[in-house]
């Protein structure tokens, strides 16, 4: 249901991008199908009990980290995690999307997926130290931008 991470090649540096939150979500991102289905009144698949935790990072923060990696004067090859490092449970994310849309989700409860992990979260300490990376957009601020963008296109 969720991408664990997507890699972006930056010069000879690799940035591991954890769950991104942006006004125009990536088609494969977990929250994109969730918001579409809740809005349309269709059931969403929830694997497990909804207690898996993920961190979501607003796209502006990812851009800030990527730009810092491009101008980094350290080794020619390095790896940085770009994410938020603050997690939210899936069931809480669904609840926030429900509130933002003003609609209750129809949840299709499914067993946990084999190999899924209870928590994914970016360790951004290296990016903070070497790149000055500092994500500032909390989910509570980014999610309304995301929903506003979606509602403008849905109407």
CA 123 to CA 137: how far, in whole Å? 17
Q: What is the pTM of this model?
A: 0.74
**Domain count across the chain:** 1
pLDDT tens per residue, range 104-138 = 999 999 999 999 899 988 899 999 999 999 999 98
Q: Is residue 1 part of a domain?
A: no
Q: How far is Cα 132 from Cα 140, in angstroms, rounded to an integer?
A: 23
Query: What would the mean pLDDT of 21-39 be, rounded to a whole number?
Result: 62
Predicted confidence (pLDDT) at residue 95 exceeds the cutoff of 90: yes
Torsion sign over Cα 57, 61, 66, 71: negative
- 38 located within any domain: yes
Which range of residues forms the domain containing residue 49?
Answer: 6-154
Question: Is residue 26's pLDDT more than 70?
Answer: no
Q: What is the CATH number of the domain that holds 86?
A: 3.40.50.720
* Domain annotation covers residue 113: yes
């Amino acid at each position: 249901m969720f991408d664990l991470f997507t890699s972006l090649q930056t010069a000879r540096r690799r940035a591991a991008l954890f769950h991104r939150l942006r006004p125009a979500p990536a088609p494969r991102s977990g929250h994109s199908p969730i918001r579409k289905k809740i809005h349309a009144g269709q059931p969403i698949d929830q694997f497990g009990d909804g207690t898996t935790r993920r961190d979501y990072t607003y796209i502006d923060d990812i851009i800030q980290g990527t730009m810092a990696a491009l101008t980094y004067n350290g080794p020619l090859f390095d790896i940085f995690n770009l994410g938020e490092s603050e997690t939210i449970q899936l069931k809480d994310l669904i609840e926030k999307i429900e509130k933002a849309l003003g609609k209750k989700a129809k949840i299709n409860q499914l067993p946990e997926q084999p190999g899924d992990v209870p928590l994914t979260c970016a360790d951004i300490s290296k990016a903070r130290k070497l790149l000055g990376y500092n994500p500032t957009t909390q989910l509570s601020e980014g999610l309304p931008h995301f929903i506003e963008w979606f509602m403008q296109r849905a109407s």
